Amino acid sequence: MANLKLTDIAKTYGGTVNVLNNINLDIQTGELVVFVGPSGCGKSTLLRMIAGLEKISAGTLEIDGQVVNDIPPAQRGIAMVFQSYALYPHMTVRDNMSFALKIAGKPKAEIDATIERVAKTLQLGELLDRLPKALSGGQRQRVAIGRSIVRNPKVYLFDEPLSNLDAALRVATRLEIAQLKESMPDSTMVYVTHDQVEAMTLADRIVVLANKGIAQVGTPLELYESPQNEFVAQFIGSPAMNLFPGKVIGTGDVTSLRLDGGGLITSDVPTTDEDMGLTVNVGVRPEDMLITEVENWVMECTVNIIEALGDVTVLYFDSLEGQAPWIAKLPGIHNGLRGQSVRLTATPAKVHLFHNGQSLLYR
C-alpha cells in the first residue's frame, strides 16, 4: 500500500560517529526488501530511521510520496517487530495487541473484531489471556507480529525477528512470515537479518550494506550470480567465494587468465584489449569448483580437511599465506580424499572477475 523512497540518507550519532552515508533506495509497494550486512554496519540504524525512532541526519525519507523526516513514528503508517519482541510484560496478549488501537481511540467492538481476526490467522486464539512470560519464544514472536498486523500499517519493519528462536522454530516461523506476506500482497516489508537463508528465501530484493553505504541491491539470484564487488561476492553464499589472484592473458568475449599459482582458467566475463595484463581476483564459489584431470586447472592442492555433510562434501585447501583456506563443495560423498592432491577447475560461466574489488561485469 505504500512505497518508500530514501534519498541521500545519512546518519551521524552525536555529531561525530558517522554510521551511514548516501543511502539511495526505492522500495516499491508490496515489496519485501531485506537488509543484510556484517554486524555493526548500520542495518538496525537504517530501519530505525525509517521507523522514526532515530533521527535522520541528512537526506529525505518519503513514504507514499510524502516526506516523513519530521513525522513521529505513529503517524508514518509503519509497524515494527523487534528482535527482543518488546512485548509489554504487564499486559495480556490481547492487551498487547489492542494497545495501539486503544491509544488511537478505536471503538471497542472494532478492536475486539480485529483482535479476533488476527488471532485466528496467527493461531493465537488460545493465548489471548496469557501474559507474555507464559509464552514460548515462538509464540511471543507471533504475538509481536500480531501486534503489528492489527494496526494495519502501510509498511512493516522487522529487525532480526527470528534471531532469538532455535533453528527448527526459525525455519517454521520463516515459512509463516512468507505465507503472511503472500496473504498481504499490498503491504510493503523491510526486513533486517543476519541469516542468509532468510534473506535469500524471503526477499524480493536484498540490500547489502557495507562500509557505511549500499554495496549492492538486487534480487537474491542477481546477488548470487553476478555480485558487483568482492564484498557482496564473499558475503552472499556459504562458504564464501574463493578468490584467486591472477592476470588477464587473453581478452574478448571470453577472458583467459593465468593464476599466480600457475593455473589457467577462462571466464565468460568479456574484456577489452586494454585489459590485457590486468591483475584481477578470480572468484569461484566453492560449489562451482569441479574436480578435473584436464590441463586448464585452477589449482592443484592437497586436501587438508574434509567435512562430510552427507549431501555435500566440503574440502579445505591451504591458500596463500595468512588468508582463509580455499574451499570446494562437492555434491555427494567423497571418502579418502584427505591428504590427496586434487586438481580443481570451474566452468567459464561460473568464474567471476574483480579488479580493485569491483566486478569487471559492471563497467
Q: Which residues bind other proteins (CB under 8 A)?
A: 51-53, 72-75, 78-80, 82, 84, 86-91, 99-100, 103-104, 147, 151
Taking residue 197's Cβ as centre, other Cβ atoms within 10 Å add up to 12
Burial 307-321 (b: 16+ CB within 10 A, else e): eeeeebbbbbbebee
Examine residue 148 and tell whether it contacts Mg ion (CB under 5 A).
no
At closest approach, how far in Å is the CB of 141 from Mg ion?
16
Examine residue 42 and tell whether it contacts ligand ATP (CB under 6 A).
yes
Backbone angles phi, psi at 359, to 5 degrees: -70, 140
Region of 40-48, 121-129, 312-320, 340-348 interacting with ligand ATP (CB under 6 A): 40-48
Examine residue 39 and tell whether it contacts ligand ATP (CB under 6 A).
yes
Q: Whose Cβ is closer to other proteins: residue 92's or residue 256's?
A: 92
Examine residue 15 and tell whether it contacts ligand ATP (CB under 6 A).
no
Q: Which of 2, 4, 44, 77 binds ligand ATP (CB under 6 A)?
A: 44
At closest approach, how far in Å is the CB of 305 from ligand ATP?
29
Taking residue 117's Cβ as centre, other Cβ atoms within 10 Å add up to 12
Cβ distance 256 to 339 under 8 Å?
no
Q: Where are the alpha helices (DSSP H) in the chain?
A: 43-51, 93-103, 108-121, 137-149, 167-183, 196-202, 220-225, 230-235
At closest approach, how far in Å is the CB of 11 from ligand ATP?
8
Region of 30-38, 44-52, 243-251, 273-281 interacting with Mg ion (CB under 5 A): 44-52
Chain contacts with ligand ATP (rule: CB under 6 A): 13-14, 17, 19, 37, 39-45, 194
